[in-house]
Amino acid sequence: MATLQEIKHRYMQDHLSTRLGGLAANLARINTFSRHDANQDAVYGLLNETKYFIEWTAYEAEFEVTAQLVELQIKLASWQQSWSSIWNNSEQRQAVAQESREWSDKILALSGLLE
């Protein structure tokens, strides 16, 4: 398994727009993986990885993008703090999945990859 430093090194080789696209992809995976009970640990790992992606990306982005990324990082951290209760409550899990999808769409639009 790759170390955090190896993941960071590989991730930082991409352009900012590609990194934002990767963030959006992780958020879309959170949405998809949240549909299956067996994926609790995988989704938790995606939440954690996405927080690192934000940390490594935000300082290079324009202010407006950085502000959105910081808001998202706070949201991810709050989900992690209550993860067991969220995962075990189907309504809360569905709400996290839906919000992840919305954030994915928002970050993908900010990336410029759709233009």
Per-residue pLDDT in tens (0 to 9) along the chain, 115 residues: 789 899 999 999 999 999 999 999 999 999 999 999 999 999 999 999 999 999 999 999 999 999 999 999 999 999 999 999 999 999 999 999 999 999 999 999 999 888 8
Q: Is 109 left (phi over 0), alpha (psi -120 to 50) or beta?
A: alpha
Domain membership flag for residue 7: no
Domain membership flag for residue 10: no
Domain membership flag for residue 1: no
Kindly tell me the number of DSSP H helices and DSSP E strands found in the chain.
6, 0
Structure tokens that stand for 112 in this block = 């410029």
Domain membership flag for residue 62: yes
**Domain limits at 57?**
15-111
Tally the domains of the chain. 1
